[in-house]
Amino acid sequence: MKYLTFALAKGRLAREALQLFEDTGMPMKEMRDPDTRKLIFTNEELGLKMFLSKSSDVPTYVEYGAADIGVVGKDTLTEEGRKLYEVLDLGFGKCSMCVCGPAEAAEYLKHGRTIRVATKYPNTARDYFYNKKHQTVEIIKLHGSVELAPIVGLSEVIVDIVQTGTTLKENGLTVLEEICPVSARVVVNQVSMKMQNERIMKIIRDLKEAVS
């Protein structure tokens, strides 16, 4: 049997996905050990391989067919814009993509001023401001702790995901506009979907039943 390979976005999404895989008869016990430094795991009996990767790399592995199936947030899928099939919303990892900043920054969004927007999601931010709001902005790419940007004067606002809202609250920031909801999605390589259709469709059906 040919292996089916899964790429999972490291962190909370992977933990929830591994629980779900276990519930649907695809246990990968070794992978749930938080101390392991191993990168790829195999279930010989079921013909499965799974690996964890940085979330922004999951769509890349899946587009190139290095993984047949991926589990990754909708935020990353939208940002990466890779060619793959998005087949299932798993309903966990829920959060929102938002424009955030100090409450006073709301004015800048109304009057179409040229403002600076710091974000880990430059494509998403560009699309929102240019195509939806028709506002000219300067996008500043950051790699983390984006909430710092308006506090230290790097930008007027940020585009980032908000889950509990704690990071914003603890830093005196607020949601100014909501861009879109986000949750964990299952994605499939386009060739794998054709070549291993029956096997992949069964997995999707089982996952769908388990999350519905």
Closest CA to 66 of 7, 1, 2, 8: 7
CA distance 102 to 82: 33
The answer to whether the beta carbons of residues 52 and 33 sit under 8 Å apart is no
162 binds ligand PRP (CB under 6 A): yes
136 binds ligand PRP (CB under 6 A): no
181 binds ligand PRP (CB under 6 A): no
145 binds ligand PRP (CB under 6 A): yes
212 binds ligand PRP (CB under 6 A): no
CA distance 99 to 108: 12
79 binds ligand PRP (CB under 6 A): no
State the first-to-last Cα distance of the chain, in angstroms, to the nearest integer: 30
Q: Choose, by CB under 6 A, the member of 68, 79, 80, 160 that binds ligand PRP.
A: 160
Q: Which residues are 181's β-sheet partners? A: 96
The answer to whether the beta carbons of residues 64 and 77 sit under 8 Å apart is no
197 binds ligand PRP (CB under 6 A): no
CA distance 11 to 83: 24
Smallest gap from Cβ 71 to ligand PRP, in A, equals 16
173 binds ligand PRP (CB under 6 A): no
144 binds ligand PRP (CB under 6 A): yes
Q: Choose, by CB under 6 A, the member of 1, 166, 194, 212 that binds ligand PRP.
A: 166
Residues forming contacts to ligand PRP in the complex (CB under 6 A) are 144-147, 160-167
